[in-house]
Amino acid sequence: MVRLSADHQGAVMINGQSVVSGDAVVAADDLGLIRGDGVFDVIRVYQGAPFALEEHLARLARSAAAIHLDYDRAKLESEVLRLLSTMRANDGHVRVVLTRSGSRLLFQEPLYELPDRYRLMLVPHAVSPLMCGVKSLSYAANCHASRLAEESGYDDALLFSVVNREILECPFASFAWVKDQRLFTPPLSAGILDSITRQVVLEVSHGEEKTCTTSDLAEADEALVAGTGTEVVPVAAIASVRSYPESSPFVTDLARRVHERIQARLRAAAPAPSSRS
């Protein structure tokens, strides 16, 4: 058996059973552990309320279907709601993991520490046609891309295709750029993840999908990183390509509007207070 890190803080559920972090174990031969054969999703929680829960669970279902991984969706959704009920008014994330061996792991994670502005380094990446848009447990390439960027003094990587050199996304977040007060983001057809936060960014900004090259990056007025954990954060620079103005007025305003949209959706999804006679 393999234990969850003893340093982990927060609620944990394995196969429907709530467990203490130090007692949380999975089998050593679980295929999710030894082969990365499984899928996951991460849900942002604001003061105990999940954002876009149905969208995240639907994306998890699509990821599972893409790799022919069967699971009891109704049972999993019930378990997610039970775990969320333990978070009370806390902020954080809930990570949901499904493995080929049949394990269902749900656990609470804290918010990540983020830079005020991202400094990115271009890193080559090969998109697998079998795994396009799938949140697979096989994230070693993404992790290594971030590691290479951090070891070179940058905050994260910006992936580009080794086939056609098109700009894709960051290892754990979406990417977009601004030109002449218009927002653009690489298309899903490039093999990037259908990010839920990216959807909100496009809705709020009336942005467009567009193939992105290093020339677009060099000519952009501003750029941003967007994701479940980040919401929207400006980009300060892309190594060997462009440094962006410190003010980032478009992205700063967009970040405010995206946050307001998220909060409005949370309020709309909140249960109505019970009335008393």
Q: Sign of the C-alpha dihedral, residues 141, 142, 146, 149?
A: positive
**Model pLDDT, residue 22:** 78
Amino acid making up residue 163: V
Distance CA 174, CA 205 (A): 15
Q: Is the dihedral of CA 94, 48, 15, 22 positive or negative?
A: positive
Beta strand 222-227 pairing with 174-179: antiparallel
Structural domains of the chain in order of their starting residue, each with its CATH number: 2-109 (3.30.470.10), 118-263 (3.20.10.10)
Supply the pLDDT for residue 1. 46
| DSSP bridge pairs for 227 | 231
Neighbours of 83 (CB within 10 A): 22
Residues 130, 14: Cα–Cα separation, whole Å = 28
Question: In the structure encoding, which two tokens stand for residue 80, read together?
Answer: 């997610």
The dihedrals phi and psi of 53, each to the nearest 5 degrees, come to: -60, -45
CA–CA distance, 187 with 168 (Å, rounded to integer): 8
**How high is the pLDDT of residue 3?**
53
Distance CA 204, CA 199 (A): 9
Coil, strand or helix: which one is 229?
Answer: coil
Q: Answer whether 193's CB lies under 8 Å from 174's CB.
A: yes
3-state secondary structure of 137: coil
Mean pLDDT by 10-residue block, N- to C-terminus, for the chain (277 residues)?
60 93 88 97 96 98 98 96 88 97 96 95 96 95 98 99 98 98 98 98 99 98 98 98 96 99 95 59
At residue 87, the pLDDT reads 84
- pLDDT score recorded for residue 2: 53
* Residue 70 φ then ψ, to 5°: -90, 145
- Measured between its terminal Cα atoms, the distance across the chain in Å is 54
What would the two tokens of residue 63 be?
A: 């990821």
